[in-house]
């Protein structure tokens, strides 16, 4: 299957000479949710702005649905919806009119049934006649999404959809994104919240200093790079790791009640059996065992740190 978005060696230098994208190549499959992670100034917004035709690339090519975004910009843009980071709505406009207007901007004929479908899918139908200023922050974000979906795009870009929103609203947005995916929309979102990528993305791309450091299936990424920790809770507190157990992989918790063993999930032999027999040989009595998988956050921090080094 050919990708719905294909980005080939994209370079972007701004007028002041700053190189914000240094040859980014990326293919996005139809129906997936791709999260772009990266520190401030990494180039995430530049990348999506270029694909959406808001910023012009210095070199490289982008196609959306097989259409070149420069040579065939109308066809390409008709397939794209963009939800900007900032809420930029007309405060005294009615919800339904602002969404209708967005559809008109793409030269699509008025279609009340299509607008109703979009508003209903975002639980905004009850609010269709409300003025924007009377809506809560969460509802305003939904209106931004409704506007971006008004012309039936197949690809939706969300630029930090949950920046600065509370936990409840963030989860609400995740549900909205999941529903959109279920309806067949391909979603690319930028985020600073690693837990967001962990919760909703199928694939994760990590950008730093204008380069795509990695793009991989989230599950595979966590498996490939993940480390696990086995926590061995002891029946009695100890002062130090027994000599027979001493290694870089074994540490003692501050309260002296838990031995923490870090192991690599990629290795065929994790060393757990040996560790547990050594614990028994050292005369230690176990109270409980638990494991902890390293999170995407650990992986991200390691990657960006390695890149900086």
Name the residues that contact ligand ATP, by CB under 6 A: 14, 16, 18, 20, 38, 40-46
Select 43 or 84, whichever has its Cβ closest to ligand ATP: 43
Which one, 41 or 104, has the nearer CB to ligand ATP? 41
Identify any residues that bridge with 229 across adjacent strands, giving them in sequence order.
262, 292
Please say which residue, 44 or 147, places its beta carbon nearer to ligand ATP.
Answer: 44
Nearest CB to ligand ATP, comparing residues 131 and 192: 192
**Least distance CB 164 / ligand ATP (angstroms):** 12
Q: Within 13 A of 257's CA, how many CA atoms are on the CB side?
A: 7
* Shortest Å distance, C-beta 285 to ligand ATP: 50
Considering the complex, state which of residue 46 and residue 98 has its C-beta at the smaller distance from ligand ATP.
46
Residue 11 · residue 58 · CB < 8 Å: yes
Distance in Å, CB of 222 to ligand ATP, minimum: 23
Beta bridge partners of 262: 229
Burial 174-212 (b: 16+ CB within 10 A, else e): bebbeebbeeebbbbbbbebbebbbbbbebbbbbbbbbb
Give the shortest CB-22-to-ligand ATP separation in angstroms. 11
Q: Which is nearer to ligand ATP, 127 or 141 (CB)?
A: 141
- Nearest alpha-carbon partner for 45 in 147, 158, 187: 158
Q: For ligand ATP, which is the closer residue by CB, 214 or 234?
A: 214
Long-range Cβ pairs for the range 106-113 (8 Å, 24+): 106/77, 106/78, 106/150, 106/151, 108/150, 108/151, 108/152
CB of 210 to ligand ATP, least distance (A): 7
At its nearest, how many Å lie between ligand ATP and the CB of residue 223? 27
CA 239, chain centre distance (Å): 43
- CA–CA distance, 124 with 147 (Å, rounded to integer): 12
Considering the complex, what minimum distance in angstroms separates the CB of residue 211 from ligand ATP?
12
Burial (Cβ within 10 Å: 0-12, 13-18, ≥19) of residue 141: buried
């Amino acid at each position: 299957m050919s990708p719905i978005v294909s980005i080939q060696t994209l370079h972007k230098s701004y007028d002041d000479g700053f190189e914000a994208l240094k040859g980014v190549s990326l293919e996005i499959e139809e129906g997936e949710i791709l999260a772009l992670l990266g520190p401030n100034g990494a180039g995430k917004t530049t990348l999506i702005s270029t694909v959406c035709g808001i910023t012009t690339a210095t070199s490289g090519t982008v196609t959306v649905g097989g259409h070149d975004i420069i040579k065939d910009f109308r066809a390409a843009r008709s397939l794209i919806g963009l939800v900007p980071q900032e809420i930029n709505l007309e405060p005294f406009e009615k919800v339904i009119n602002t969404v209708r207007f967005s559809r008109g901007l793409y030269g699509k004929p008025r279609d009340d049934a299509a607008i109703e479908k979009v508003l209903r899918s975002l639980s905004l139908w009850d609010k269709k006649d409300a003025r924007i200023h009377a809506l809560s922050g969460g509802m305003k974000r939904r209106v931004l999404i409704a506007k971006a979906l008004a012309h039936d795009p197949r690809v939706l870009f969300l630029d930090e959809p949950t920046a600065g929103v509370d936990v409840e609203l963030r989860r609400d947005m995740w549900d909205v994104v999941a529903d959109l995916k279920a309806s067949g929309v391909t979603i690319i979102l930028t985020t600073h919240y690693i837990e967001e990528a962990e919760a909703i993305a199928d694939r994760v791309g990590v950008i730093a200093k204008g380069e795509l450091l990695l793009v991989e299936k989230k599950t595979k990424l966590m498996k490939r790079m993940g480390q696990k920790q086995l926590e061995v809770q002891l029946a009695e507190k100890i002062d130090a790791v027994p000599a027979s157990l001493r290694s870089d992989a074994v540490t003692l918790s501050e309260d002296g009640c838990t031995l923490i063993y870090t192991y690599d999930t990629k290795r065929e032999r994790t060393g757990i059996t040996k560790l547990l027999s050594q614990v028994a040989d050292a005369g230690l009595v176990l109270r409980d065992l638990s494991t902890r998988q390293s999170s995407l956050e650990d992986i991200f921090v390691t990657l960006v740190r390695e890149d900086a080094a």
